[in-house]
Amino acid sequence: MVIAMAVGKREILLVAMAYYLFLLVSAGKGGGGAEADRIIKLPGQPKVSFKHYSGYVTVNKEAGRALFYWLTEAVSLPESKPLVIWFNGGPGCSSIAYGASEEIGPFRIKKKGTGLYLNKFSWNTVANLLFLESPAGVGFSYTNTSSDFYTSGDTRTAKDALEFVIRWLDRFPHYKQREIYLTGESFAGHYVPQLVKEIMTYNSRTKFPINLKGIMVGNAVIDTYYDNLGTVDYWLSHALISDETYKQILNKCDLHKLEDDSNECNATSKYAEKEQGNIDIYNIYGPTCGDSTATSTPHNHRIQRFPHRSFSVFINNKIKQISGYDPCTENYAEIYYNRPDVQKALHANTTQISYNWTSCNEILFKNWTDRAYSILPIYKEMIAAGLRIWVFSGDADGVVPVTATKYSLAQLNLTTKTPWYPWYLNNQVGGWTEIYEGLTFATVRGAGHEVPSTRPKEGFQLIKSFLRGAPLPPK
């Protein structure tokens, strides 16, 4: 009996050692099959100490759907740092254009798309970053079934994203034991929790669960009614609309609807836009892009509030940059990622898609087939599962504003652990935060919809505190 037990333990030890050696070998080679995705150097890229990879993962062979990713490993000791997966929203907008290139990635794009320069507040100093263009049809991600452009929605996006994570981890097996965190902004307020739900279901059925530890989302779409109500309340409280227009919106528009196409609501919404004037509603105190040669309209299709609104205005004047923020950066992305030499270096557009790479796919945006009314039920499931959950909000965003997020989260009726207090960075108030049982909420003072773009130092503090599981620093 004792001998049999000893043999059993020895066999288990040998298997464990063999698997460990396999992981080491895989890591040295960039993972199973991953070396082919290794990026040698991007055009105009400065010298870096970290490795980065990009390519495609097929998520549905029958339809021919494949999602494009870009992994930028941590600057130092990547093997000891977690994996952070980032999603942008829209629906239909690119995580390469926004998250990677103007928010949390290691590179920024030079004007006119001539090359890259380093972002000193890149999140890959504390984590390995995986940017995913999701769903198929966004950015370089593609489908061989044209009808997919008109039938995308929350449900299929979440299922394809789960398939991506499973298959990507097979390609990079040395990440299978890492802590994994899902992050993003805007409509990623749907993408991230819905993927979490898929992962939790998958983990309950497999012997090899995905090591998901938590989520962090910013200016996130959460609940239709409270998001809409919080938005118009923000417009009024920040003097963006008149009292009369505020009353008209409440009377003429059904805030319970995802989209109110009635003539009365359309007219009122257009008048509200007129009252707001030539501002970037995504960053109400920031400059607008005055680039008359722009190839796209920034922010125009990132998220749908009231119908037919255009959330950015071009004015032909000199660009005024505030604290290093450049409102035209996505125009540079449109140029850079359409360069053939860039696509070749990224292993992108290998199927020669028939359209140019764009920051946002308007067809997907306009034809989103299913959209959850509220994500709050999934928040309750995530809290019950013990995941680390942070929600943050740039308080200068007029599209998914801080009031919308507060109204939505209030419906969870969570118990307060640490009451509202100001958090500090370099002896200045970075924002305010409150810690609940199961969730941390934080604001970022003066930040727009893209917090890491408009307030990069504060955004970097968010990810550092989040990954440590520590409260944001008081004074």
**E strand or H helix at 109, and its extent?**
strand 107-109
Catalytic residue among 95, 154, 449, 453: 449
How far, rounded to the nearest angstrom, does the alpha carbon of residue 128 sit from its chain's CA centroid? 15
DSSP letter string, 220-262: ---BHHHHHHHHHHHHHHTTSS-HHHHHHHHHHS-TTSS----
Q: How far apart are CA 290 and CA 299, in angstroms?
A: 14
Catalytic residue among 186, 393, 408, 453: 186
3-state helix/strand/coil string of 52-108: EEEEEEEEECCCCEEEEEEEECCCCCHHHCCEEEEECCCCCECCHHHHHHHHCCCEE
Q: How far apart are CA 130 and CA 57, in angstroms?
A: 13
Q: How far apart are CA 395 and CA 443, in angstroms?
A: 6
DSSP letter string, 326-358: -TTHHHHHHHHTT-HHHHHHHT--TT--SS---
How far, rounded to the nearest angstrom, does the alpha carbon of residue 183 sit from its chain's CA centroid? 6
Q: Is 39 exposed, middle or buried (0-12, 13-18, 19+ CB in 10 A)?
A: middle
Torsion of CA 60, 62, 68, 74, to 10 degrees: 40
* Cα–Cα distance list, 67 to 49, 86, 139, 164, 291 (Å): 27, 14, 9, 7, 31
Bridge partners of 109?
116
Catalytic residue among 397, 408, 453, 465: 397
**Active site (annotated) includes residue 190:** no
Q: Is 385 exposed, middle or buried (0-12, 13-18, 19+ CB in 10 A)?
A: middle
How far, rounded to the nearest angstrom, does the alpha carbon of residue 222 sit from its chain's CA centroid? 14
3-state class (DSSP) for residue 264? helix
**Active site (annotated) includes residue 397:** yes
**E strand or H helix at 273, and its extent?**
helix 263-276
Residues with active-site annotation = 186, 397, 449
